[in-house]
């Protein structure tokens, strides 16, 4: 869309779309910024994803938020992909560029910036729970942020080993796997835990000086982290920060993250 008389359009592509808060958050941020844009949420059958992304590009949409199981196949359908998207093997945001729709992965940056509001991840040993696209994005950003070592624990041992190998290949932080179990004993050197999986797991040996971050916005902090007095980075904070990053990427305007967190809390309530 090149005419100033036309409204910019952003689409949320999800499967399923019900319960996705992205449109609610974007519309709140658009109102605060005074932008006359339009948001639409589309429930996209995975088999029609190529047509949906092609249509968004052909219609000149400003971008798309991509959610759920659509994020991995979307990587192969974009004109360009950021290093984070390539490493994560998925995209969460599409942005209109001169070459077509470019793919980004914002999960990792959302976690890192939310953690930084509480503590600096640089110089910390980190435990990442999970090895899927979100966990891969988080691990990448942790390595780039100066984490000294990254342990990966996931219920898929092959995925965990692949992620650790890919991190080790970057030569920025030591990387290894921790065998998965229903109850994981926290290594003493770990100072930051990022829970980037829905697989149930209990952490034993948490300490008050450990920072515990959740990725999911609709879950309460685990009771063992609360009982240990850990510094808690909630999924609400992470998701609000991610929405702020996505909004700024598409509009060039930095939104109020606290406003977005309150809006997300309101939406989930």
Task: Reply yes or no on domain 9-105+237-268 having CATH 3.40.50.10860.
Answer: yes
**Contacts with 127 (C-beta within 8 Å, 6 or more apart), sequence order:** 150, 151, 153, 178, 186, 187, 190, 192, 193, 194
Q: What is the pLDDT of residues 156-176, one digit of tens each?
A: 999 999 999 999 999 999 999
- The strand pair at 125-129 and 100-104 is best described as unpaired
In the chain, CATH 3.40.50.720 sits at 108-233
Query: Mean pLDDT per segment of 10 residues, for the chain of length 269 residues?
Result: 71 95 97 97 97 97 97 98 98 97 98 97 97 98 97 98 97 96 96 97 96 94 97 98 98 98 95
- pLDDT at site 5: 58
Q: Dihedrals φ, ψ of 146, to 5°? A: 100, 15
DSSP characters over 108-137: HHHHHHHHHTT---TT-EEEEE--SHHHHH
pLDDT digits (tens, 9 = 90+) for 193-238: 999 999 999 999 999 999 999 999 988 999 999 999 999 999 999 9
- Coil, strand or helix: which one is 24? helix
3-state secondary structure of 13: strand
Query: Furthest-apart CA pair in the chain: how many Å?
Result: 59
Residue 6: what pLDDT?
Answer: 79
Distance CA 53, CA 34 (A): 27
CA angle 246, 249, 250 (to 5 degrees): 90
Q: Is domain 108-233 annotated with CATH 3.90.1150.10?
A: no
Q: How many CA atoms lie within 13 A of 89 on its CB side?
A: 11
E strand or H helix at 23, and its extent?
Answer: helix 22-33
Which residue spans of the chain are classified as CATH 3.40.50.10860? Answer: 9-105+237-268
3-state SS of 180-212 is: CCCEEECCCCEEEEEECCCCCCEEECCCCCCEE
Report the distance separating Cα 36 and Cα 108, nearest Å. Answer: 29
């Amino acid at each position: 869309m090149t005419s100033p008389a036309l409204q910019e359009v952003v689409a949320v592509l999800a499967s399923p779309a019900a319960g996705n808060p992205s449109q609610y958050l974007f519309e709140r941020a658009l109102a605060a910024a005074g932008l006359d844009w339009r948001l639409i949420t589309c429930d996209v059958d995975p088999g029609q994803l190529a047509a949906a992304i092609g249509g968004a590009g052909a219609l000149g949409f400003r971008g798309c938020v991509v959610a759920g199981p659509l994020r991995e196949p979307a990587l192969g359908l974009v004109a360009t992909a950021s290093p984070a998207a390539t490493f994560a093997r998925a995209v969460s945001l599409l942005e209109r560029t001169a070459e077509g729709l470019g793919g980004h992965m914002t999960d990792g940056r959302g976690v890192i910036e939310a953690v930084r509001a509480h503590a600096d991840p640089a110089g910390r040993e980190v435990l990442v729970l999970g090895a899927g696209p979100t966990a891969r994005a988080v691990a990448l950003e942790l390595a780039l942020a100066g984490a000294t070592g990254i342990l990966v624990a996931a219920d898929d041992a092959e995925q965990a080993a692949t992620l650790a190998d890919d991190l080790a290949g970057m030569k920025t932080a030591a990387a290894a796997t921790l065998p998965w179990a229903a109850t994981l004993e926290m290594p003493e050197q770990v100072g930051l835990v990022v829970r980037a999986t829905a697989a149930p797991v209990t952490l034993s040996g948490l300490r008050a000086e450990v920072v515990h971050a959740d990725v999911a916005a609709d879950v309460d902090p685990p009771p063992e982290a609360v009982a240990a007095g850990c510094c808690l980075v909630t999924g609400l904070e992470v998701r609000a920060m991610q929405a702020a990053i996505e909004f700024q990427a598409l509009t060039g305007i930095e939104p109020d993250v606290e406003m977005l967190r309150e809006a997300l809390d309101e939406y989930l309530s």
